[in-house]
Amino acid sequence: MARMGQPQVFDTVIVGGGMAGSIVAARLAEAGDRSICVIEAGPPDRHPWIHIPAGYIKLVYNPAYTFPFKTEPGPGIAGRQIATVQGRVLGGSSSINGFNYNRGQRADYDTWAQRGNRGWGYAEEYAISRHVVDALVLPIFEGVRPILTLKVVARALLG
């Protein structure tokens, strides 16, 4: 580890520790063969509301954790400026988002794949959704068994 003020050199520098940046950093770290630097504009994700479902309502207009962007006024929105807030914190917008989870239609994914996007078809997407549900979502519902069985939750999320 270098001392403060000393220049450091990394194999990969990722600007933005939001959803995409954090995933890329994690995948590169798992490969284990290179040094990685993630530069994040915002603070760490320690605020309690970040970790409470629907807590984002309390943070979404807090400029300590968001970039309070607005659209340009335009005729289609009656000259108004519409808030287009973005997360400015470790985890990015995923730290201040609503946890809503929707899967697309089978035909949408397969159309993407047919247009040349290898790996974006329904079968590949299903495998990733299955992993997300098994690893991240079902453990949350462990506590409410047997009122809501894990099978019912998985069926609702995966179809």
Ligand X SMILES: Cc1cc2nc3c(=O)[nH]c(=O)nc-3n(C[C@H](O)[C@H](O)[C@H](O)COP(=O)(O)OP(=O)(O)OC[C@H]3O[C@@H](n4cnc5c(N)ncnc54)[C@H](O)[C@@H]3O)c2cc1C
Among 29-37, 68-76, 96-104, 119-127, the segment contacting ligand X (CB under 6 A): 96-104
Among 10-18, 29-37, 71-79, 142-150, the segment contacting ligand X (CB under 6 A): 10-18
Site for ligand X (CB under 6 A): which residue of 45, 96, 129, 133? 96
Pick out residues in 69-88 that bind ligand X (CB under 6 A).
85-88
Q: Which two tokens stand for residue 125?
A: 């997407």
The answer to the question of residue 100 lying near ligand X (CB under 6 A) is: yes
- Which residue matches tokens 């247009």? 115
The DSSP string of 49-104 is GGGSTTTHHHHTT-TTTEE--BPPP-GGGTT---B--EE-STTGGGGSS-------
- For residues 100 and 91, the answer to whether their CB atoms sit within 8 Å is no
The answer to the question of residue 92 lying near ligand X (CB under 6 A) is: yes
Return residues touching ligand X (CB under 6 A): 15-21, 39-42, 56, 60, 85-89, 92-94, 96-100
